[in-house]
Amino acid sequence: MPAFITASTETKTPIVRSSLLTAWAERLLLVFLAALFAVRAVAPAWTHLDADFANYYLAARLYRQGYPVERAYDWTWFQRQKDQSGIERPLVGFTTSPLTSFLPVLPLCSLPPLAASRWWLATNLGLALVIAAILKSMTDLPWRRIGVLMLLAIAPLHSDFSLGQIFLVTLFFLSLAAWLYFGKREFLSGVAVAVASATSIYAAFFLLFFLIKRQWRAAAGLVLGLAGILLGSIQLFGIAACRIYLREILPWTLRGEVIDPYATEWNSLNALLRRLFVFEPELNPWPAAHLPHLYAALYPLIVSFILVTFLWALSRWETDASRRKLEWSISCFLLLLLCPAPMPGLFVILIMSAVFVTDHLIARGNLRLAGAMVFVYTLACLPYGRFYHSIPKGWTSLLAFPRLFWLLVLAGMFLWILLSGAEGIIWRSRSFAGAALAFVAISATSVAFEETHLAGQSDNYRPRLTSTIGSAIGINPVATRDSVLYEGSVPRFGSTPDAYCVYRLHAGSITTFGGGGDWFHPAATADGNEAWAEVASAGQSRIVGFDSSEASPDVTTTVATDAEGPVVSAGGQWLAYIREVRGRGSLWIHYLRGEEDNRISPSDRQLAGPEHDVREATFSPEGNVLFSSSQKDGSRLYSVDPQTGRISEFASAHCSARYPAFSPNGESLAFSCDRGGYWQLVTMKRQNGEQRQLTGGDCNSITPAWTPDSRSLIYATDCGRGVGNTALAKIDVEP
């Protein structure tokens, strides 16, 4: 045998042997990860229904039954529908999900909940295989490496499957968009990204990538796709629902003010900086320092710097196929890094980034950097649940965001990879100057916006009524002579059972009333001797009377069935309540006791039909019932005379108005008025119609209740919190 052949064989043998060992190691790792996935994700999803799927399932079911879908953003209403539907989950909430997010589950909503969840699990498994096939078609990686990289996304992938989330659908459409983009079908690629944004609105920001790469057809596809989704949403859900989402929900989502904006679970820059520098009495009582102006400056500057730096690094126009895939994947990563409140399952998008970057580095023989990147990617995807079971204090919050730390390390690696392959073109002075100007413009605009947005957010912190650490929600208060009753959900870190309860605040202590279902919307006489509440359980809601002076009363009296939202007249003679017909409220009145008026039947009687879509009601001092009615163009106040049944519009509100409440002395009316998408408290003098706005800021102040002396209002506010995640506050009203 010739010498050169022998030498070549001897030289290659160790390499071949190393490749075989690597391949077997990857196969063993794949088997281990697959087994872990089956045990920790697939098995739990098969055996029980979890919260996230229950949210989508319930929204889809209500939509299919003809309910107004925008009501899903009302936490109390959505929880009530869960109870009445018999879905066995403690707490549900559609929160800030896009209206279109439940559409993938719509074909399954006719099935029982657990059966639908199992079909969704099978659908997700099929989607995972299709995504793997799409990624395989665009890379030179073998199947085993595709599988390993997918299964290394342990926390996101397990969360998506075990909780029944929809973010694998988002990843599927982004993968499809990449396949179309690299196949020179840019317009269809943009359309696919638009469809992905229907499940996660953050995908729409891919428009920046198309613009910076001058892919005008892709940008046009994305814009037209979003326009088509909007028109389709108007057709499917109605213009009122779309208006509510765009004006009252979407702005909160884009700011990351969802559920609890300080939660360590988000692992975002927004949540970290809020936790360090923005005080909130219940959700963030121990920041490092209460410096909201520092947050308002620091967060936009950091986000603007990261965004502009990456877009600058992506700004090359003509690139080869491998570089284009690298830029696409890093743009997907950038969406996650800058997302203000990403759900844990949304991080499945990292899978595509890991696959494309690994393929790019291996193709260039940079195995060490590829291995380092996969290692950091794995650390970013590990489950860090044990970090989230307490509220960190001060600077220890820095230790409570491990995923964010590894994402920042990964960002540094991705930026290095982008710049190292740029061949010096992006270092031109003109390119650098343009990026610097963009940074100044974006950061200055963002800082000004944050300063304006935070103005007045903490004004109601001092007069807060409760300060239960970790409390989730407090709403629908009613003030008696010596106490306040209100509706609330469980503290996040408490031992209370998962349910909505009625609470009584008296002399600084809180008493809980509940059991037999969720307790909503308390009502009480002025002296506090009698109280009522709605109890929602499987099949119906009913109004019960109970003794509010006893903790957890053993005896309740059912006053009305198929009834919700009770309010009592000043003398305790009449009780008004709401009955729903497919989510649209009708107003009813119930005789309690006292001197009977011969003109009014003592039996329950309807005062306003479901065509008025009654949302809230209150008694006037004269005995009329004032109620809010949901209309296509907003909410209106109407008055009905229980004696004659005559309904007339209360036109003095001069705005879209809800949550009316008459003062005990009969001189003033309080209600919430829609001001640019935010609900603000307004009082009106009955004598002359003079109105005064009591609250402001980019937040909501709702469900006012007068104190017995008619000098103060107790209300629910989500200022400094997530949208709809309200706490109770008190405000004085000028006599």
Q: Which has more confidence, 493 or 688?
A: 688
Whether residue 317 has pLDDT greater than 60: no
Whether residue 251 has pLDDT greater than 90: yes
Whether residue 496 has pLDDT greater than 50: no
Whether residue 499 has pLDDT greater than 90: no
Using DSSP's 3-state secondary structure scheme, residue 648 falls into: strand
Q: Within a domain: residue 54?
A: yes
Q: Within a domain: residue 16?
A: no
Whether residue 706 has pLDDT greater than 70: yes
Q: Within a domain: residue 464?
A: no
Q: Which has more confidence, 20 or 696?
A: 696
Give the closest residue to 410 by CA, choosing from 484, 459, 357.
Answer: 357
Residue 405 class from Cβ within 10 Å (0-12 exposed, 13-18 middle, 19+ buried)?
middle
Are 525 and 586 part of one and the same domain?
A: yes
Q: Taking a C-beta distance cutoff of 8 angstroms, is the pair 532, 568 a contact? A: yes
Give the mean model confidence (pLDDT) for residues 14-25. Answer: 73
Give the mean model confidence (pLDDT) for residues 456-465. Answer: 86
Are 191 and 315 part of one and the same domain?
A: no
Whether residue 494 has pLDDT greater than 90: no
Q: 196-249: per-residue pLDDT in tens? A: 999 999 999 999 999 999 899 999 999 999 999 999 999 999 999 999 999 999
- Answer whether 0.95 is exceeded by the pTM: no
Q: Within a domain: residue 467?
A: no
pLDDT of residue 539: 80
The last residue of a domain, from among 455, 488, 514: 455
Q: Taking a C-beta distance cutoff of 8 angstroms, is the pair 575, 560 a contact? A: yes
Whether residue 596 has pLDDT greater than 60: no
The last residue of a domain, from among 212, 229, 255: 255
Count of the separate structural domains present in the chain: 4
Q: Which has more confidence, 467 or 273?
A: 273
Q: Which of these ranges, 95-104, 130-139, 542-551, 599-608, has the smallest mean pLDDT?
A: 599-608
Are 383 and 515 part of one and the same domain?
A: no
CA distance 638 to 241: 22
Express as a percent the part of the chain with pLDDT over 70. 92
Whether residue 319 has pLDDT greater than 70: no
Q: 164-173: per-residue pLDDT in tens? A: 999 999 999 9
Which helix (DSSP H) or strand (DSSP E) does residue 586 occupy? strand 584-591
Give the mean model confidence (pLDDT) for residues 16-32. Answer: 84
CA distance 564 to 587: 10
Are 389 and 444 part of one and the same domain?
A: yes
Q: Within a domain: residue 537?
A: yes
Q: Within a domain: residue 4?
A: no
Using DSSP's 3-state secondary structure scheme, residue 112 falls into: coil
Q: What are phi and psi of 350, to 5 degrees?
A: -60, -25
Are 318 and 377 part of one and the same domain?
A: yes
CA-CA-CA-CA torsion sign (724, 268, 466, 708):
negative
pLDDT of residue 553: 63
Alpha carbon dihedral 11, 16, 19, 25, in 10-degree steps, equals -120
Are 217 and 85 part of one and the same domain?
A: no
**In which domain, by residue range, is 582 found?**
474-732
Are 338 and 372 part of one and the same domain?
A: yes
Residue 495 binned pLDDT confidence (cut-offs 50, 70, 90): very low
The last residue of a domain, from among 255, 282, 303: 255
Residue 479 binned pLDDT confidence (cut-offs 50, 70, 90): very high
pLDDT of residue 444: 95
pLDDT of residue 420: 81
Q: Within a domain: residue 1?
A: no
Give the mean model confidence (pLDDT) for residues 516-522. Answer: 92
Whether residue 662 has pLDDT greater than 80: yes
Give the mean model confidence (pLDDT) for residues 188-198. Answer: 96
Are 145 and 178 part of one and the same domain?
A: no
Whether residue 67 has pLDDT greater than 50: yes
CA distance 478 to 484: 6
Are 703 and 624 part of one and the same domain?
A: yes
CA distance 639 to 616: 12
pLDDT of residue 8: 40
Could you write out the DSSP letters of every residue in 329-370? Answer: HHHHHHHHHH-SS--GGGGGGHHHHHHHHHHHHHHTT-HHHH
Mean residue pLDDT of the chain comes to 89
Strands 584-591 and 574-581: antiparallel
Residue 187 binned pLDDT confidence (cut-offs 50, 70, 90): very high
Q: 609-644: per-residue pLDDT in tens? A: 999 999 999 999 888 999 999 988 889 999 999 988
Give the mean model confidence (pLDDT) for residues 272-300. Answer: 94
Are 359 and 444 part of one and the same domain?
A: yes
Are 402 and 496 part of one and the same domain?
A: no
- Helix pair angle (154-162, 167-182), 10° resolution: 120
The alpha carbon of residue 198 and the mean position of all alpha carbons in its chain are separated, in whole angstroms, by 14
pLDDT of residue 10: 44
Are 370 and 480 part of one and the same domain?
A: no
Give the mean model confidence (pLDDT) for residues 496-524. Answer: 85
pLDDT of residue 429: 55
Give the closest residue to 542 by CA, choosing from 564, 517, 516.
Answer: 564
CATH number at residue 506: 2.120.10.30
Strands 531-537 and 501-506: unpaired
